[in-house]
Structure 1
């Protein structure tokens, strides 16, 4: 019963991504046409961001599909890291798009142009509604999955950008403040860099197998070393494979020459301890007794 529920949830995730992709393709086409007709850089910049949304959603969809494929002899982890890679790619595109927008905003500041604000207002409203619906579709999954979070952030920032474009359109229509178009483009770009950098940093840390920020390795060592017959946990690696799997690999030195069955009992106790206190759900331990090797917590392989 639990398996069916999980499968249904993954299917819903894929369906929500497909709906968001189609909506953003329509919004992008409308904004490109409208931006060219009206001469609005902020509308074109929003269209560029929307196009990056389409690409990021496609990447997220493919990654979500790949992550469900089974492991094999040639891929012992399967494609479980596909979603982390997708998040890294999506975060990178956020930052790249932001840099391009800053360059264009600077050029437009030097050469401001009159803009057809009426078209800007209507198209930004359409984008707000379309992206707002997509944001609601992906919000739940974004809390527990870095890949879905990257897609969600693309859509959320684009919705906020469309709100900024709408405000700019209103200011241009009623107050003829055409320089606001460039200013809003710049603000949108800075916001993209802010959210993109945070996601880029997180996905990079996972890809580089860094120790998760919430894990204190010294606390892990102290907890395991309190178990009877255990001498010292050392040569430790702790990393996230993906959003769901936190792995520990280590050497475990014992005070006495125990049997394999005794080791199994102690290993089960360690697994329970690590799971409940540190949320580590995959444990690989090499038992040792009187082995002459480095006993430091971290050993450079």
Structure 2
């Protein structure tokens, strides 16, 4: 993630069994937990009559083209504990300007998170507390955005998010829930950091979402959501039955769009809406600001199945 890193009160321009994977590895503090409930037939979600649920998960990570040899700076983990736990962290590449490996912080952060998942006394299956414990235990220098989602067997998905990694819920061919990115300004999201100036678990956007069998969750770093529209995510989910194939296809689609300078991506649309202008040569040719955003791309697809 090529964004400014937060340091010392100023902005400087610059993870079946638990599986840790790092192939490489609102603007206001959320103070209350929200429960998101949808209108469709929730008699089916009565915990007294429905079966327990869990995630069937597929993953894919594609590093930035210039970071293939090092594996990029995204990290993720997947665990089958309880109904399932999934998480993504996106390292801030600006640290490379200070000879710091930006991948170390997100990898250690999620490795620590995976170690604390089963600590019922300290964590109590709460993603916000998990972020707090993992952050406190991380000694690497760096920064990262992070999202953690923990599925209870009764169907409640508990989410905590700091920054612009995201999660979408697809039900019956429609995106019915999306997390919202947190940012200081365009392209500078909230981030956990080794420095005092960064955000903490208290800044996480926290919510609960009630899931049902057949739902699909798509979680990813901003490399996915900056380059792929919601309707493309839905089309891909409908096309593939296997979650691993779905994740791979979404990551490949995001990579293709990121490399296309003429693709009018979610990122370029947002940039134009914020008043950003195209480079001079495009202006001269009468062209608008377009193109995908080159970045590490992490995709986790979780299908809700009966346990």
Q: Normalising by the residue count of structure 2, what TM-score does the alignment of the two structures yield?
A: 0.23
Larger radius of gyration, structure 1 or 2? 1
Structure showing the higher strand proportion among its residues: 2
Q: Which has the higher contact order (CA 8 A, sep 6+)?
A: 2
Q: Normalised by the size of structure 1, how large is the TM-score?
A: 0.24
Greater per-residue helix proportion: 1
